[in-house]
Structure 1
Amino acid sequence: MGSDLSVETLDGIMTISMNRPESRNAMNKSMAEGIAEALDRLDADPALRLAILTGSGGTFCSGMDLKGFLRGESPVVEGRGFGGLVMKPPVKPIIAAVDGYALAGGLELMIACDLVVASADAKFGIPEAKRGLAAGAGGLMRLPDQIPTRVAMELALTGNFIDAERALSFGLINRIEQGPALNGAMALAQEIVANGPVAVRVSKQIIQESRGWPLDERWDRQNTLLPQVFTSPDAREGASAFAEKRKPVWSGS
């Protein structure tokens, strides 16, 4: 992975840490490629259940590395987009653990994740308009799907930052952690890991894909995906464990 990124795995949880604190974890080519590689591994390895994306040194990500950009480097991975993530998030869940700043491309990385835990001092924004630019790595398209359109419009047109309390108030983030965001993200990850792997994966898929389904096709499309959950060995194991008052032992099938 190189020194720009560290990847650790423990108990089915992959932790991906952006590691360029001297530049507030600005996204460069090697980091983007490392994230893409880690996400490929996440989806390919049955032992891995989900990922947490975080940043070292008290900052999540401040956006694109402009020095790298001026050298002709691009932090865009073909097929996956900016940061190796925004155009093609993993099939399995991914949680953003946000300390400090999630700005510009950093915010776009965050909103490409499924869940967000942020520290109490976190700040969020897409300040591109202040530089005559636009948030082209998903910010302008994803934010109106996740928060009220007028709030998304305010963030895009003013470029102003918002704090964690305001972000929580309209659902941009899930939880505020008083300590390091990774602590809260790990607790949330453990809640998910306790559940059936197939159920989690398919639930994420339906929530994401159904946003684009025509209303008159939603039930039929869902019905093509749900049988793999209800006919799985894990479905029987979950019911048996409940009846026997014990923790389920998931097979992932």
Structure 2
Amino acid sequence: MRAELGQARTALDRAAERVGDRVGALPAPELRSPDQRAVAAAEYDTARALRSAFMDAHAEAVYDELTDGRSVSLSLTELTRAAAAAFPGLVPDDEVLADERSRPQALKDGHEIDQGIFISRILRSPVAGPHLLDAMLRPTTRALGLLPRFRETGRVDLTSLLLERRDGVARVTMCRDDCLNAEDEQQVDDMETAVDLALLDPAVEVGLLRGGIMSHPRYRGRRVFSAGINLKALHGGRISLVGFLLRRELGYIHKLIRGVLLEDDMAWRSRTLEKPWVAAVDGFAIGGGAQLLCVFDQVLAASDAYVSLPAAQEGIIPGAANLRFSRWAGPRRSRQVVLGGRRIHASEPEARLLIDEVHETSELDLAVERSLERLRGPAVIPNRHMLNFADEPVDGFRLYMAEFALQQALRLYSEDVINKVGRFTGDRR
């Protein structure tokens, strides 16, 4: 088996090198003629077919080599970096990715698609996939470093949000007032850090996520929940497959559901440490903001708020919403929202499928506090654990994310997305 993998590794490396030489002989992406772009696309398709076949045959052996027989836990970033070093030609290395990241989305060669192929095959494996999911549920190094200060002071001011502990509640306030809390890679990192800290701090009983007060001219002085993915960052090539789209789903959002992985003597009781979460929606929850609502235990909203998932308009896949949204809104309504761009206003009766309570803005603060108090009961955590276990079995999530990793990578570099995202960089509220 080891000899077979070695031969396949060598063959893949040589084939990828030939493709690299042929594409390297062409002008830079922005200078290529239509015929040259077609040549580059055909060369990349050839290489990707080989990578797919290689991973179909050797995914578990590759993963075992990279993780020392699954004795080492690697994050997605660490795993893809290790794969680039150990299996040349399989995924792009840091130098290639840095060059890609320096370009706007329209002028990239799409090397992240190779990462999508690699990760999709790892997640498909019933052996490697669960191990990778567990690795992504571990607390981040950043959170572990900040935990002593948070436990002592009850406050951490991160770049894009504020985390405060008051009366046993971890209050996460998104405060990117420059972009209406539109998510970029910084906010994903901050969110995972905040979720880790809330879960690890024994003084926290329940978590709350809410948008802060905005300075945007249209919403000045008002709270806003989330405008979804930061389309300006996407247009500028600063939204990555691994660091944003996959880390977001497999990292902090999955931790909101499952908790953080435990490694102590009491882990026999439960593999993860989890807590209940409340979301309070002011203004709107667009795209990624709407995706978040599907994983909270209680969702409250102001009466003038709305929810939308304009995925077909943006051209990308809305994370795991296609897995979860139907459970709450039903399959027909999900298609209306995801494919048709329908907005669901909190004032509509149908909004009760997604939102537990709707209140006037002046009454929302008190309603949120009542909701937080209800979720403090000792039987809440085991019951939410069993509800999530029934609603979304881990293997179902794993297989969805395996397909998502590849399809979202392809969408990132689709011509319609590149054309659309430039038009969506203006105000879309």
Unaligned runs of 5+ in 1: 214-253
- 1:133 is the counterpart of 2:298: no
Post-superposition shift, 1:48? 0.5
Matching residue within 209, 216, 227 for 1:53:
209
- Structure 1 SS opposite 2:178: helix
- Percent identical across equivalent pairs? 25
After TM superposition, list the pairs within 5 Å mapping 1:5-84 onto structure 2. 5-57=161-213, 58-69=223-234, 70-74=236-240, 76=244, 80-81=248-249
Tell me, yes or no, if structure 1 residue 164 matches structure 2 residue 346: yes
Matches of 1:62 and 1:151, distance apart in 2: 21
Runs ≥4 residues deviating over 6 A = none
Question: Normalised by the size of structure 2, how large is the TM-score?
Answer: 0.45
Matched, 1:205 2:393: no
Give the drift of 1:76: 2.3
TM-score for the superposition, normalised by structure 1: 0.75
Q: CA deviation at 1:106?
A: 1.0
Please tell me whether the aligned partners of residues 16 and 52 of structure 1 are also in contact (alpha carbons under 8 angstroms): yes
Q: Of Structure 1 and Structure 2, which has the larger fraction of its residues in strand?
A: 1
1:111 to 2:294 alignment: yes
Aligned runs of 1:121-200 on 2, under 5 Å?
Answer: 121-135=304-318, 137-166=319-348, 169-179=351-361, 181-193=364-376, 195-196=377-378, 199-200=379-380
Q: 1:124 touches 1:161 (CA, 8 Å); kept in 2?
A: yes
**Deviation sequence 1:138-195 (CA, Å, 0-9, x none):** 22111111122211111111112110032655421100121264442222102222x2
Per-residue CA deviation, residues 55-77 of structure 1 (Å, 9 max, x unaligned), is: 11221001111233324244627
Alignment length, in residue pairs?
Answer: 208
Question: Which letter maps to 1:143?
Answer: F
Structure with higher Rg: it is 2
RMSD in angstroms over aligned alpha carbons? 2.2
Distance 1:46 1:77 in 2: 30
SS of aligned partner of 2:173: strand
Which residue number corresponds to residue 140 of structure 2? none
Paired AA for residue 291 in structure 2: E
**2-side partners of 1:183 and 1:138: how far apart?**
31
Aligned to 2:278: 95
Q: For the residues of structure 2 that align with 1:21 and 1:167, how far apart are their CA atoms?
A: 30
Q: Distance in 2 between matches of 1:23 and 1:52?
A: 21
